[in-house]
C-alpha cells in the first residue's frame, strides 16, 4: 500500500526568501519543498562553476560562496565532502 501526498492549506517558511512554501501531508508528517543540490552550483560567465551555501546569511540575505571550480564534477565532489564533514 502506498501513501499519497495531500495538499494542505498550511505553509512553511522558505529557505531563501520571506515567501512561504506549500507543505504536504504524508502519512502523519508534514513535508516542505526542499532546495535541490544542483541549485547551489551555478555556472559563471567565465565557464567556471561556483558552489553556494544552501542557507542565506541572515545579515546580508545572500548565499555564502563555498568555492569556485573548473568543472561541475569538481563542484559536486566538494559538495559531497562538505555534507560528509557536517555529519561526521
pLDDT of residue 17: 46
Task: Summarize pLDDT for 50-76 with one digit per residue, the tens.
Answer: 999 988 999 999 999 999 999 999 999
pTM of the entire structure? 0.55
The answer on 87 and 58 residing in a single domain is: yes
**Whether residues 77 and 60 fall in one domain:** yes
Whose cell is 548565499? That residue is 63
Give the pLDDT of residue 16.
Answer: 44
47 three-state secondary structure: coil
Say if residue 86 is in the same domain as residue 48: yes
What pLDDT score was predicted for residue 43? 94
Q: Where are the beta strands (DSSP E) in the chain?
A: 6-13, 20-26, 29-32, 41-43, 49-56, 63-69
Count how many domains the chain has: 2
Please tell me the distance from the alpha carbon of residue 44 to that of residue 73, in angstroms, as a whole number. 15
DSSP structural state of residue 25? E
- Cell readout for 55 is 542557507
At 14-39, the pLDDT tens digits run: 444 444 555 555 555 555 545 455 56
Amino acid at each position: 500500500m502506498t501513501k499519497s501526498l495531500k495538499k494542505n492549506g498550511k505553509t512553511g517558511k522558505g529557505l531563501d526568501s520571506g515567501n512561504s512554501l506549500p507543505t504536504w501531508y504524508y502519512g502523519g508528517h508534514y513535508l516542505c519543498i526542499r532546495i535541490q543540490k544542483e541549485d547551489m552550483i551555478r555556472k559563471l560567465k567565465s565557464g567556471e562553476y561556483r558552489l553556494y551555501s544552501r542557507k542565506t546569511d541572515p545579515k546580508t540575505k545572500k548565499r555564502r560562496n563555498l568555492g569556485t571550480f573548473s568543472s561541475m564534477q569538481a563542484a559536486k565532489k566538494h559538495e559531497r565532502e562538505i555534507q560528509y564533514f557536517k555529519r561526521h
